[in-house]
């Protein structure tokens, strides 16, 4: 079984390029060139150099002693939060900005949810002296204000998307419309393993540095290449794609994903695509998608702006269908509690997105000596406002109320 | 029933786009019933979609309203059933692929056939996927297919699209989403001239950015006619669509 794309950009039944004719030339140009560019030795040299000297790779594989003690196993954190700009997103933006330069593009556009991809894009644009425009949903502009400020300081123009749920989905729509309006000089730098082929494959490729390093680091620390389980959060799914990548064919390694259950699967306010989604088309790709019976895309909800997306990358949809990936829905409250747990045990404040991956731990039946690797995809600086609100609220309300509560609005 | 293929043999055709269910379901039915009296040759009736990638703000907003008014694909067909009792105005289906997928491709075709929708425009169905997955099915139900070409579509691909087209070729006037109002540019004129010089074997209709008598007439010089979408919707919202249509042919 294959977990990579075929020549038309499909993972099994998922993926492809369902794009209006206006985007055909741009997409085809990218399809025809990206593999060639990535394979060039000059590209590889420049990319690796930037990853090491600029982004600070390899990211540490940290043995979390106290967290391990609590769960009675060996837990390692892959510290993508320590990268320059504070998340795994920089791995992809560094790769794609080199592709864009090679293709002679002058203007970069991007979408962002939590703002991490927006910041990572604004950063590489400053580095390469390219014009940068970032689309961000109005709700996300509010709840991730520190990242908006960072993008602006980095010289990017941040355009607010006011349509729909005013989150990542709508920011992506606006970015695609910008690309239709500016087909010649503009490069669309997508931040996740979503969108039309070749984006899912290209972004997964750039993020695969995570599992490449992980294999080597585990050999050094444990004398083995394979952990028992790998945990990651999925919105579109780029950090998950990266940390799974070199393990996809190795079925001895259990791959587990957290998706945002928001206020609960049945609450009508979640982004639990694998459970609530059906096959459909979003942002140019056939994948699992939350939608009405009539095919209107549903407005998702999650406390985490980075997971607040009604779709999922086509690679992950395929992994789920083939039962290669197990998905756990994690609610807002579970994620917040997991964030608090990591902070108090290890002195690491995770991003709300990564907190969802940590939220899987209490749900697993864990055997002693088991090795679990968790993708700590980003740091929590941007989420302090949500965390503070939660602590204030949690102090006044007993735990049982909290679990059921719809009153807590971050 | 009027055949759209026959109509497309003429010139100076005027087609308008309307989002089904906008501003209300009743008004959609009224407009479709009366519009022929205002010189409109055929209508693209849009099925509203939550995430219309190729559309600008006007059509997006009209879609939000229409969905709120309860427009579903099933209701779309109900509207057509009523309209068909009143007029034989040719109607083109325009909608994004996801809704057809959810409805069921074959069930969708059957319904179109029943209600005499002769022509389809599905902006996010690329010709490659159409050829592989939909061509035979549409043929079986006698549905004609119209595809878009844009200023960035190379000649070789235009020829491929020409060969696959069974309805008309939808010439997008400039590199943009729908609803942009701009003066006619030299670049646009060159694009029109290039298309005309290709002597395409299929009828052509120019759309996107057609918003008044001048842009409409200019487009008609190069194609079989033109399509007005966003601007028509703006006038529908202002309740003076009739006046607008009259002004185009005055």
DSSP string, B86-154: H----EEEE--HHHHHHH-HHHHHHHHHHTTEEEEE-TT--HHHIIIIIHHHHHHTT-EE-EEE-TT--
Q: Which two tokens stand for residue B183?
A: 């003066």
Q: How far is CA B154 from CA A33, A60, A319, B19, B158, in A?
A: 18, 48, 37, 31, 6
Question: Residue A192 in contact with residue A111, Cβ under 8 Å?
Answer: no
Name the active-site residue from B44, B114, B124, B231.
B44
Sheet holding A61-63, edge to edge: A61-63, A74-79, A371-376, A229-233, A254-262, A325-331
Placement of tokens 């990651």 in the chain: A232
Give B98 to chain A, closest Cα distance, Å: 5
Name the active-site residue from B34, B55, B106, B239.
B55
Interchain CB distance below 8 Å, B150 and A296: no
Nearest of A133, A129, A180, A136 to residue A162 by alpha carbon: A136
| Residue in A with minimal Cα distance to B61 | A163
Sheet holding A278-282, edge to edge: A10-11, A14-15, A285-289, A278-282
- Cross-chain CB nearest to B175 (options A16, A19, A181): A181
Interchain CB distance below 8 Å, B154 and A183: no
Interchain CB distance below 8 Å, B98 and A295: yes
Q: Which of B52, B130, B152 has the most A C-beta neighbours within 10 Å, making it the best mutation to test the interface with A?
A: B152
Q: Is A368 a catalytic residue?
A: no
Q: How far apart are CA B109 and CA B120, in angstroms?
A: 10
The reply to whether A297 touches chain B by the CB within 8 Å rule is yes
DSSP run (H or E) holding A244: helix A238-244
Question: Residue B88 in contact with residue B2, Cβ under 8 Å?
Answer: yes
Interchain CB distance below 8 Å, A18 and B125: yes
What is the average pLDDT value for chain A, to the nearest integer? 95
Nearest of A318, A401, A380, A325 to residue A5 by alpha carbon: A318
Give B224 to chain A, closest Cα distance, Å: 21
In which residue ranges of chain B is pLDDT below 70?
none
- Cross-chain CB nearest to B152 (options A183, A278, A294): A183
- Average pLDDT by stretches of 10, chain A with 410 residues: 87 97 96 96 98 98 98 98 98 98 97 95 98 96 94 98 88 96 96 97 98 98 97 97 97 97 93 96 97 95 93 98 97 95 98 98 95 98 92 76 54
DSSP secondary structure string, A330-387?
EEHHHHHHHHHHHHHHHS--B-HHHHHHHTTGGGS---TT-EEEEEE-BBSGGGHHHH
Q: Which two tokens stand for residue A74?
A: 């060996």
Give A173 to chain B, closest Cα distance, Å: 6
Q: How far is CA B33 from CA A305, B83, B90, B240, in A?
A: 46, 6, 11, 16
In chain A, what residues touch B67 (CB-CB under 8 Å)?
A: 296
- Cross-chain CB nearest to A297 (options B51, B147, B172): B51
| Residue in A with minimal Cα distance to B102 | A295
- Cross-chain CB nearest to A296 (options B56, B67, B154): B67
Q: How far apart are CA A386 and CA A144, in angstroms?
A: 9
Q: Is B30 a catalytic residue?
A: no
Pairing of β A186-188 and β A278-282 = unpaired
Give A185 to chain B, closest Cα distance, Å: 12
| Residue in A with minimal Cα distance to B68 | A296
Q: Which of B98, B145, B155, B161 has the most A C-beta neighbours within 10 Å, making it the best mutation to test the interface with A?
A: B98
- Cross-chain CB nearest to A20 (options B53, B56, B98): B53
Nearest of B100, B102, B118, B104 to residue B7 by alpha carbon: B118
| Residue in A with minimal Cα distance to B148 | A21
For the four alpha carbons of A347, A353, A359 and A361, in that order, the dihedral sign comes to: negative
Predicted TM-score (pTM) of this structure: 0.96
Name the active-site residue from A78, A89, A105, A169.
A89
Q: Is B44 a catalytic residue?
A: yes
Q: How far apart are CA A183 and CA A22, in angstroms?
A: 8
| Residue in A with minimal Cα distance to B129 | A18
In chain A, what residues touch B126 (CB-CB under 8 Å)?
A: 17-19, 21, 24
- Considering just the CA atoms, what is the radius of gyration of chain A in Å? 20
- Cross-chain CB nearest to A282 (options B51, B67, B123): B51
In chain A, what residues touch B178 (CB-CB under 8 Å)?
A: none
In chain B, what residues touch A176 (CB-CB under 8 Å)?
A: 53
Please give the pLDDT value at position A393: 83
The reply to whether A282 touches chain B by the CB within 8 Å rule is yes
The reply to whether A183 touches chain B by the CB within 8 Å rule is yes
Please give the pLDDT value at position A163: 84
The reply to whether A223 touches chain B by the CB within 8 Å rule is no
Q: How far apart are the first and last CA of chain A?
A: 42
- Cross-chain CB nearest to A296 (options B50, B103, B128): B50
């Amino acid at each position: 079984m294959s977990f990579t794309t075929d020549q038309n950009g499909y993972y099994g039944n998922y993926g492809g390029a369902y794009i209006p004719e206006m985007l055909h030339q741009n997409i085809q140009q990218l399809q025809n060139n990206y593999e060639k560019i990535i394979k060039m030795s000059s590209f590889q040299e420049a990319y690796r150099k930037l990853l090491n000297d600029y982004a600070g790779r390899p990211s540490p594989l940290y043995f979390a002693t106290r967290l391990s003690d609590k769960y009675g196993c060996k837990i390692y954190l892959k510290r993508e939060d320590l990268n320059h700009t504070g998340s795994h997103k920089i791995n992809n933006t560094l790769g794609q900005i080199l592709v864009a330069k090679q293709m002679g593009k002058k203007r970069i556009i991007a979408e962002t949810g939590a703002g991490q991809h927006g910041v990572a894009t604004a950063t590489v644009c400053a580095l390469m002296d390219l014009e940068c425009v970032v689309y961000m949903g109005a709700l996300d502009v509010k709840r991730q204000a520190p990242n908006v400020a960072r993008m602006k300081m980095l010289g990017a123009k941040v355009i607010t998307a006011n349509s729909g749920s005013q989150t990542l989905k709508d920011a992506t729509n606006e970015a695609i419309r910008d690309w239709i309006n500016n087909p010649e000089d503009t490069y669309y730098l997508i931040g996740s393993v979503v969108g039309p082929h070749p984006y899912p494959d290209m972004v997964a490729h750039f993020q695969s540095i995570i599992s490449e390093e992980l294999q080597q680091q585990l050999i050094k620390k444990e004398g083995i290449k394979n952990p028992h389980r790998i945990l990651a959060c999925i919105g579109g799914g780029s950090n998950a794609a990266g940390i799974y990548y070199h393990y996809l064919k190795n079925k001895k390694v259990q791959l587990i994903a957290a998706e945002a259950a928001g206020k609960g699967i049945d609450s009508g306010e979640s982004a639990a695509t694998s459970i609530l989604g059906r096959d459909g088309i979003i942002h140019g790709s056939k994948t699992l998608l939350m939608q009405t019976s009539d095919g209107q895309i549903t407005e998702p909800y999650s406390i985490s702006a980075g997971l607040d997306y009604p779709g999922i990358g086509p690679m992950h949809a395929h992994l789920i269908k083939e039962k290669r990936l197990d998905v756990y829905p994690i609610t807002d409250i579970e994620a917040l509690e997991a964030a608090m747990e990591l902070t108090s045990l290890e002195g690491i404040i995770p991003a709300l997105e990564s907190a969802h991956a940590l939220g899987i731990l209490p749900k697993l039946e864990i055997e002693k000596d088991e090795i679990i690797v968790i993708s700590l995809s980003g740091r929590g600086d941007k989420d302090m406002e949500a965390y503070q609100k939660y602590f204030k609220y949690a102090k006044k309300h007993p735990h049982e109320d909290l679990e059921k509560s719809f009153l807590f609005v971050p | 029933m009027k055949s759209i293929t026959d109509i497309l043999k003429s010139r100076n055709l005027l087609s308008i786009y309307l989002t089904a269910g906008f501003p209300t379901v009743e008004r959609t039915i009224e407009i479709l019933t009366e519009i022929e009296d205002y010189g409109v040759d055929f209508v693209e009736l849009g099925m509203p979609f939550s995430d219309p990638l190729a559309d600008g703000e006007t059509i997006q907003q009209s879609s939000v309203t229409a969905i709120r008014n309860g427009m579903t694909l099933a209701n779309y067909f109900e509207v057509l059933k009523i309209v068909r009792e009143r007029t034989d105005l040719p109607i083109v289906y325009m909608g994004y692929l996801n809704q057809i997928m959810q409805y069921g491709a074959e069930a969708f075709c059957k319904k179109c056939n029943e209600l005499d929708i002769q022509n389809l425009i599905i902006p996010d169905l690329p010709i490659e996927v159409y050829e592989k997955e939909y061509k035979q099915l549409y043929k079986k139900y006698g549905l004609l297919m119209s595809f878009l070409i844009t200023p960035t579509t190379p000649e070789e691909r235009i020829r491929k699209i020409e060969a696959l087209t069974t309805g008309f070729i939808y010439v997008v006037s400039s590199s943009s989403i729908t609803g942009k109002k701009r003066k006619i540019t030299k670049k646009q004129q060159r694009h029109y001239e290039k298309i005309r010089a290709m002597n395409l074997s299929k009828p052509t209709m120019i759309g996107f950015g057609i918003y008044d008598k001048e842009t409409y007439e200019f487009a008609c010089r190069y194609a079989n006619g033109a399509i007005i979408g966003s601007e028509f919707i703006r006038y529908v919202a202002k309740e003076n669509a009739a006046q607008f249509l009259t002004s185009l042919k005055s």
